[in-house]
Amino acid sequence: MTSTLEPKSMGRPLTRVEGADKVTGRAPYAYEHPLSDPLYLHPVLSTIPHGRVTAVDTSGAEALPGVHTVLTPGNAERLADTEDREFAVLQSDEVSFHGQFVAAVVADTPETARQAAGLVKVDYERLSHDVVLTADHRGLYRPVEDADEGPSADTAQGDVEAALERAEVVVDHTYSTPTEHNNPMEPHTTTALWEEGTGHLTLYDSTQGVHVVRASVATVFGLDPERVRVVAPHVGGGFGSKGEAHAHNVLAAMAARALPGRPVKFALTRQQMFCLVGYRTPTIQRVRLGADRDGRLGAVSHDAVEQTSTIKEFTENSAMCSRWMYAAPHRRTTHRIAALDVPVNFWMRAPGECPGTYAAEAAMDELAHACGVDPVELRALNDPETDPQSGSPWSDRRLVQCLREGAERFGWHGRDPAPRSRREGDWLVGTGVASASYPHMFNPGSVAHVRHDGDGRYEVSIGAVDIGTGAWTSLTQIAADALGRPASDIRLRIGDTAFPSASVAGGSSGTSSWGTAIVAAARAFRDRHGDSPEPGAEASASAAEDTVDEGYSIYSFGAHFAEAWVNADTGEVRVPRMYGLFSIGRVVNPRTVRSQFLGGMVMGLSMALHEESYRDPRYGHIANGDFAEYHVPTNADVGDLRADWLDEEDPRATPMGSRGAGEIGIVGSPAAVANAVHHATGVRVRDLPITPDKLLR
């Protein structure tokens, strides 16, 4: 089966079409759009995790020259719809978490706004709070399930307990991951302008989905969506946190409505981002594997405990990966969450699959050690012929090929399987492997528009967003091949609700969903106008519901390999090299795809060794909420990272033959590092991050 597109631009490593504008500063981000006479907003955040505001003294702030208004729960406008309680900004005196908006100052300069915010005095009635997740938390419950959307919280096949009872080898351990924060380079930023007279609202926003933000803000303010415009031509990263609107969008729009005709700029500080734009929930995961002496699985049980907020439920679904990764006749997965007095958690790169695969692949490494089977071959032995979850055939499952070819390229063979078997001076050296998988995400309904400019060029418009992943370039390449033109003839327009509707950039779904819409629009254009269109010829089409072949299970797969060096005296861990080999269908642009893989692998390294947000149980805040104390890798921590992919295509997934690439680079990579550390030291750290104290303990 072959792709419906003949690639000419796709598959070539074109440089980023917007690259020159970015490096020369001509590409405007949300805070940088040239607007006349802007005002600046700075918020006041709650200093308690649970209670209510009893008084707000704004006199000191209002007396400061340059202050235009101070918004509080007492004078803020009443919003039209606050069913989503994250958006109920300044609507009551209730405080639900440390860091919640309790007031905001708008002033002539950001410095004045910040100074004035510090002069606002807030009194509270403090109530008892609960901010600590435990495996036996008394408030644990099964997540609410939506019959139309989302997976089941629990699944069961066969008799897991009986299979574990009769298994020759059993692995039964609990693995934990801490709270982690997305922290894209560009902070969450909104510039809001409420036009006088027309009642139209424009948001220049740092978002992964302009149409998603428009829908949310219009609902909250009771507006016709056509009266709201959201603009985001360039976004400096998101990693999921910018996948939907958050409270800061509402606060900026509220301030702009109070001061119509003046743009209000609001950029969260790095510290504020630790409490207002989502984070990865901590997880506590018990994984039980039952196998015969050869390592063939008979039972898989994966139970995940996570947290959510009292104001809005969000479930990470960390155990889902165990539903399809390996063959086992008896299988169970469960999710339980506790609603705590904490901010709303949300998407962070590969939500669910990332922490879940860490636990599952660490357990597989422990099973390989217990059975005396090579970790690569153990995974190959348990590769399922069909999807264990649905029974459907795979569209293109090449995990074993990734594992075996990856092992060859990494230099895995000849490895002494015994822990602590290699030492170089003061350093213990080990290698580790982990599998990776990520479901093919496709969102139907995105719409693209094609217009012939008359000068031999084609204007292609879609309300997609490039969050730094290369959408400007890859969509240009897809459009070029769909129209049978060179990429230089395509003028892409994205990042604006003035363009046709598009789904969010998330879940590795962007290129698949938007590219499919562009292909559909190009076909409609060529069917209507032929190969010699008149100037002004145009056509639109949407990504069809039946694009993905429903008869198949469609996933991307990969294999991660890591080498770890651990200082025998200090416990310091270094990872001088990592290698990943991936199967993602056709690669649209090798340059941007490699960047995505390597970025994900660095984030996985960071998760394994560095990242941990510490929530102070006394006050409910993140105590290390800045880059001085929330540690991420620097250049010195990242050694020889390499990523390759199989030469393939998957027309059952998209008409381009491609699948997503953004998430799978992080899925599995923390486990590969953790498994390498165990091989080096013989110490199994099951609670990330792996820090020297845990190794020396």
E strands in 115-168: 121-126, 155-157
CA distance 478 to 516: 9
CA distance 490 to 488: 6
Report strand pairing: 283-291 vs 201-205: unpaired
Contact 486, 446 (CB under 8 A): no
d(CA 134, CA 177): 12
User: Out of 244, 366, 649, 663, which one is annotated catalytic?
Assistant: 663
Contact indicator for 541, 455 with CB cutoff of 8 Å: no
Q: What's at 279, amino acid-wise?
A: Y
Give the tokens for residue 397: 């499952």
- Which candidate, 602, 605, 604, 625, places its Cα nearest to that of 613? 625
How far does CA 580 lie from the centroid of its chain? 19
Torsion-angle region of 164 (φ positive above 0: left; ψ -120 to 50: alpha; else: beta) = alpha
Q: What's the CA gap between 161 and 300, in Å, rounded?
A: 10
* Residue 678 contacts residue 430 (beta carbons within 8 Å): yes
> Tokens 């070029």 label which residue?
480
Do the strands 155-157 and 201-205 form a parallel or antiparallel pair, or are they unpaired?
A: unpaired
Question: 60 is written with which tokens?
Answer: 């000191």
| Residue closest to 593 by CA, chosen among 191, 14, 1 | 14
Is-contact 187 178, C-beta < 8 A? Answer: no
Q: Tell me the residue type at 402.
A: C
DSSP state of 693: H
Count of all residues that appear for the chain in the document:
697
- Given a contact cutoff of 8 angstroms between Cβ atoms, the answer to whether 401 and 629 are in contact is no
Closest of 285, 286, 287, 300 to residue 167, by C-alpha: 300
> Tokens 């997305």 correspond to what residue?
182
- Tokens at residue 525, please? 């254009």
Yes or no: say if 153 and 315 are a contact pair by the CB < 8 Å rule.
Answer: yes
Closest CA to 444 of 358, 376, 502: 502
Which of 432, 303, 438, 430 is closest to 366 using CA atoms? 432
Give catalytic status of residue 663 as yes or no: yes
- Residue whose C-alpha is closest to residue 38's, from 263, 260, 261: 263
- Rounded Cα gap, residues 562 and 676, in angstroms: 6
The structure tokens 């060794």 sit at: 609
Provide the residue type at 192 as one letter.
Answer: A
Can the peptide bond before residue 576 be classed as cis, meaning omega within 30 degrees of 0? no
d(CA 301, CA 290): 9
List, in sequence order, every beta strand (DSSP E) within 263-355: 264-267, 283-291, 297-309, 330-340
C-beta neighbour count of 697 within 10 angstroms: 9
Q: Compute the distance between CA of residue 351 and CA of residue 582 in angstroms, rounded to an integer.
A: 19
**Residues that are catalytic:** 663
